[in-house]
Chain A
Amino acid sequence: DTEVTQTPKHLVMGMTNKKSLKCEQHMGHRAMYWYKQKAKKPPELMFVYSYEKLSINESVPSRFSPECPNSSLLNLHLHALQPEDSALYLCASSQDGPGRGFFYEQYFGPGTRLTVT
């Protein structure tokens, strides 16, 4: 089973709201990723967790706050977002992560479509 699940599927939030995106995988993968994808563009990496520790932060604004409660779960906490943050947010996982000597393919979830009003 190569399934990554994400909730919610759609989210509409105001600029003063606080919300969270959730991602889950049960493949025993030790690396998990958040990407942002704008329409007609490739995904852009935001964060990487490896063995439940933040490994890469691609200079993402602090209004996005990731959390990895355990090896199967990844959250993205959202606060005081701007309309330009509206996008498809994709979660991915891989067997292992950066600096582990090899690259393992990433498996993506279906995404959360976020609209900031």
Chain B
Amino acid sequence: GNSVTQMEGPVTLSEEAFLTINCTYTATGYPSLFWYVQYPGEGLQLLLKATKADDKGSNKGFEATYRKETTSFHLEKGSVQVSDSAVYFCALSPANTGKLIFGQGTTLQVKP
């Protein structure tokens, strides 16, 4: 079946620290992969995406590379800010299904 596993949180970092949030997936076929971010009291925002192996998605200093050999899509940012504090969801979409399968979410807290 299709599933997404994210590292458990909360992840607490100091401002300007390096961020990695691990995401691994199980899927049949060739899914598309996504990171969404949810700030407190808001809906989900698409952060970045990758649609095929070795694609790198990037946005607002965040990056993730679609690694088919390790079935991973880890989120990284070189220097986090307090404003990055949010819940981050890794998600996959199996081809042609129209569905998003989410991981459990990882809460990031960045302290000044």
A42 touches which one: B42, B43, B102 (CB < 8 A)?
A: B102
Annotate B82-112 by CB proximity to A: 1 below 8 A, 0 otherwise: 0000000101010111111011110000000
Annotate A56-75 by CB proximity to B: 1 below 8 A, 0 otherwise: 10000000000000000000
Chain A contact residues (Cβ within 8 angstroms of B): what range?
A: 20 to 34
The listed residue with most A CB atoms (<10 A of its CB), out of B36, B43, B105, is: B43
With a cutoff of 8 Å between Cβ atoms, the chain A residues found around residue B105 in the complex are 40-42
With a cutoff of 8 Å between Cβ atoms, the chain B residues found around residue A99 in the complex are 96, 98
With a cutoff of 8 Å between Cβ atoms, the chain B residues found around residue A56 in the complex are 98-99
B98 touches which one: A90, A98, A107 (CB < 8 A)?
A: A98
B96 touches which one: A94, A98, A107, A110 (CB < 8 A)?
A: A98
Residue of A nearest to B31 (CB): A103
Whether B98 lies near A110 (C-beta < 8 A) is no
Whether A102 lies near B96 (C-beta < 8 A) is yes
Annotate A1-17 by CB proximity to B: 1 below 8 A, 0 otherwise: 00010100000000000
Whether A31 lies near B98 (C-beta < 8 A) is yes
B42 touches which one: A48, A101, A110 (CB < 8 A)?
A: A110
Of residues 71 through 106 on chain A, the ones whose CB sits less than 8 Å from some CB of chain B are 90, 92, 94, 97-103, 105-106
Please report A residues at the B interface, Cβ cutoff 8 Å.
4, 6, 31, 40-43, 45, 48, 50, 55-56, 90, 92, 94, 97-103, 105-111
